[in-house]
Chains A and B, each alone.
Chain A
């Protein structure tokens, strides 16, 4: 009757990260940290989990002299998000 919610997305911070990236082409680590109000360590951990699952891609580079981490949602992540929202809707309807 109820499909299982994706445990990777059923976490406030990871869901917030994916939801932010849905609406953007790409976002830097500092932007995600500012919007989620998470600590750098925790955010980094959750980004790694999402990256390992293939839901987001992470690119590391430099902006001038400063290192920068850029995150972007992948097609797999987009599909996972859509499935998650579809599953949530079934919960809400009942």
Chain B
């Protein structure tokens, strides 16, 4: 197009079209939400079952449930490698997810240390709060309404968790994973998040 026919109106149309195109780029976050939601949910359910059924103590389920995490790490890594081969752009939301969830991991690690030091179940008690708040904030930034509502629901579960016994706290943590991770993850597939 000749330079002298490029009007200000055309400029605005070009900018608008380009920004809309850039917004349609997906982050692929839905896979990680569903994967880690499932892993954490299963992990907490296992601990719930072990507490209510003492026959499960010392079994393979009790001894090897930690294996879920390296499996999750391997699946995450292989999916990331596959994505990197295909993807031709990096949406700005990727940084948001990176900082939000590494922040969540730090919080949970510190709470776990505090639990051990204080001999209390503070980490599992507050798990719904920290996962819910992380998903709520990310949902707000990415304008994904389901993440916002599910994050709020998960945060509210903390009230029940605080008033419950340890085994119920594990069950509530599992429900929080379903609410904060699996449900938003599944619905994200259809949206530009």
Q: Identify the A interface with B (CB < 8 A).
A: 5, 10-12, 15-16, 19-28, 30-31, 34-35, 63-64, 84-85, 88, 91-92
Taken together as a complex, chains A and B put the C-alpha atoms of A30 and B11 apart, in Å, by 23
Find the A residue at minimum CB distance from B18: A19
- On chain B, the residues within 8 Å of A91 by CB distance are 8
Query: What's the least CB distance linking A56 to chain B, in Å?
Result: 14
Contact, CB under 8 Å: A28 / B88 = yes
Taken together as a complex, chains A and B put the C-alpha atoms of A20 and B8 apart, in Å, by 18
- On chain B, the residues within 8 Å of A22 by CB distance are 18-19, 22
Taken together as a complex, chains A and B put the C-alpha atoms of A21 and B91 apart, in Å, by 10
- On chain A, the residues within 8 Å of B105 by CB distance are none
- Give the interface centre of A21, A28, A31, A85 by most chain B CB atoms within 10 Å: A31
In the complex, besides A10-B3, A31-B88, A35-B18, 18 extra interface pairs with C-beta distance below 8 angstroms are: A5-B8, A5-B11, A10-B11, A11-B6, A16-B17, A19-B19, A23-B23, A23-B25, A24-B90, A25-B89, A25-B91, A25-B92, A27-B88, A27-B89, A28-B88, A28-B89, A63-B84, A88-B11
Is B15 positioned at the interface, with any CB of A under 8 Å from its CB?
yes
Interface of B is mostly: helix
Residue in B6, B10, B18 whose beta carbon sits within 8 Å of that of A20 in the complex: B18
Q: A10-B3, A24-B22 are in contact. Are A15 and B92 (CB under 8 A)?
A: no
Find the B residue at minimum CB distance from A30: B88
Query: What's the least CB distance linking B38 to chain A, in Å?
Result: 28
Contact, CB under 8 Å: A64 / B14 = no
Taken together as a complex, chains A and B put the C-alpha atoms of A38 and B10 apart, in Å, by 17
Taken together as a complex, chains A and B put the C-alpha atoms of A84 and B18 apart, in Å, by 15
- On chain A, the residues within 8 Å of B190 by CB distance are none
18 A-B contacts (beta carbon < 8 Å): A5-B11, A10-B3, A10-B6, A12-B14, A15-B18, A16-B14, A19-B17, A19-B22, A23-B21, A23-B22, A24-B91, A25-B89, A27-B88, A30-B88, A35-B21, A84-B11, A88-B11, A92-B12
